Amino acid sequence: GMYRAMGQSSEVKASEKQTQSLLKSFLQGYIWREQFFSGAATVDEIAKAAGVNGNYVSRLINFSLISPKLAVD
């Protein structure tokens, strides 16, 4: 896909692997966000279940909150 950097007019071509990685991270963050905000689990509980640390879970939850104004072709 094509991505436009925030505040910049030039586009950057992402490889298919990079695009898939971004989408996977966004989706995982969205799933964890729903678990956290619904009260189903704490960040630490999510992290333990996923085998990662709480900082990683928090980063992906924050990533899932970014503006959908990414231009993807």
pLDDT tens by residue, 13-50: 778 898 899 889 999 999 999 999 999 999 999 999 99
| pLDDT at position 58 over 60 | yes
Per-residue pLDDT at 11 exceeds 80: no
For 8, residues 6+ apart whose C-beta sits below 8 A from its C-beta are none
16: number of Cβ within 10 Å:
8
Q: Nearest Cα to 60, choosing from 36, 17, 18, 12?
A: 36
Which residues touch 15 (CB under 8 Å, ≥6 apart)?
Answer: none
pLDDT at 68 over 50: yes
- The SS3 call for residue 9 is coil
Look at residue 12 and give its three-state secondary structure.
strand
